[in-house]
Chain A
Amino acid sequence: MENNFSRGLICADEVKSAHGRLELGIRLPWYRSLPLSVVELGELVVDGQVVPHQNVSLEINGHEYSLDQLGKLTGEFWYVLDSARLRLPCVLDPWQPHTITLTINLYPPYIPGLTWVTRGSLALEAKR
């Protein structure tokens, strides 16, 4: 099921391909800034294929992290207005349409026990 952050999760105007990687601007699906220690990347799917988390990175505040580092980053806050850069080892053919689906799990640190799951998709049209 969608929530209100689903639609804006992947920023449509912040998708780039560079150096053999796909870069996505993504938003924090919560109303306030959170430390990266409570942010967990869930399933990443590009054109129906699950993308393994190895070699996927997240850049925030000018620092690039591998996904398995996030859980320890209690002091690195993702400000609520900032896009983070998610980099995936994927090359997309611009002449074909693509669909990217991302799931983010948040563990709001003042609501122990809550897992907030947001799934958002972005459809990219083929270049003409």
Chain B
Amino acid sequence: MNVQSTPGELKLGTTLYSFTAAFHSRQASFEQLVAKVAELGVGPGIELVGFQSIRGFPVVSDSFAGHFRELMARYQLEPSCLSINADTALCRGQMMTPEEAARYLEPQIRAAAKLGFPVAKSQFAAPAESLRLLLPLIEQLGIKVGPEIHAPLGVDSPPVLAYRELYAQVNSPLLGFVPDFGTCARTLPASYLDTLRRRGIEERALELAVSIWKGPESPQWKRDEFNRRATELNVEPTKASALSVMFSMLSPHKPESWLEIMPQIIHLHGKFYDFDAEGNESSIPYGQILPLFMKAGYRGYMSSEWEGHLYAWEPGYEPVRQHHALCRRILAAM
């Protein structure tokens, strides 16, 4: 074991999205959540969803920007990534052109730079071409931009390949990807399956979904196969629809697959749901993932992103604290 490696090189942080339940239910304000990150020791990185944390986004007033910088200084936190949205289906039943998508993303990227975020995380709903159009602005602002690779996508999925092709053409260090580790799940979180049971999903429907989820087939095939077999089993449609969420929540890709695009990784989403008795994430193998990124030379931030609020409407403070303890333990052992 190399005891001289410094665990601080992969920097940890938190996205306030983890605390969605506390914020949405008006239990905690934006300022209180920032203070909470410092209190729990789950910084130094702070990630925000622009359209969640900032009223009036993508307009960011000078006074909000000043207030935000003051909060970062007061709590010794650092802006790591601003999560922006590619709302390309704003008009229902119609998709934006690459030019329209670029115009929609532009004020959000400017907002990220104004707030001092080094990275703006976008989404595949914007076609790759829109980033080519935005590259002059991105270079002028000196900010990194790229879409999040979220389940069910992996490095070889068609939308990801389209971006990789563009990146190979333009060859800019400012364009990249943000992997979400929900893509590397070995199984589905026990707490999630228990919630589905409590909400009345029959065991046979649950078993069907989980067995299809675990297979190596494409996400679309899995969803279709599940829907076909759920209909055969007479699973009630609202329950079938609730179950099909799992195919885009988590996917079973191999952590090693990220090595293929490692130099283009600009930020990480440390997605997690719950923990086993030893404090390990119950479905996502952080003990494999973090050493892989460290050894490959990744030196940016990872935001802890608790998404248990999808089914457990809790503030999320304790799970984020546990996730940081787990990650620090893994990094310190390297």
Contact = CB atoms under 8 A, between A and B. Distances in A.
Contact of A79 (B49, B55, B88): B55
Contacts of B88: 109-110, 112
Interface of A: 1-2, 4-5, 7-8, 27, 31-35, 37-38, 71, 74, 77, 79-81, 107, 109-112, 117
B64 interface: no
Most buried by A among B26, B49, B91, B239: B91
B91 A37 contact: yes
Interface string B174-198: 0000000000000000000000000
Given A1-B242, A8-B25, A80-B52, A107 B20 contact: no
Given A1-B199, A112-B95, 15 more contacts: A4-B309, A4-B310, A4-B313, A27-B24, A32-B49, A33-B52, A35-B87, A37-B91, A37-B92, A38-B92, A71-B92, A109-B90, A110-B123, A111-B125, A117-B238
Interface in B34-81: 49, 51-52, 55-57
Contacts of B89: 38, 107, 109-112
Main SS of the interface on chain B?
loop
B216 interface: no
Contacts of A81: 23-24, 26, 55
A31 B49 contact: yes
A2 B86 CA distance: 28
A33 B90 CA distance: 13
B21 interface: yes
A32 B87 CA distance: 12
A108 to B, nearest CB: 8
A110 B23 CA distance: 22
B271 to A, nearest CB: 14
B18 to A, nearest CB: 11
B239 A74 contact: no
A61 B52 CA distance: 16
Contact of B91 (A2, A8, A74): A74
A8 B27 CA distance: 13
A31 B51 CA distance: 9
A110 B92 contact: no
B158 interface: no
Contact of A33 (B51, B86, B311, B313): B51
Contacts of A27: 24
Interface string B1-44: 00000000000000001001101111000000000000000000
A38 B125 CA distance: 15
A32 B51 contact: yes
A112 B238 CA distance: 19
B199 A2 contact: yes
B85 interface: yes
Nearest to A112: B89
Nearest to A40: B92
Given A31-B24, A79-B55, A109 B87 contact: yes
Nearest to A109: B87
B136 interface: no
A26 B26 CA distance: 14
Contacts of A4: 21, 309-313
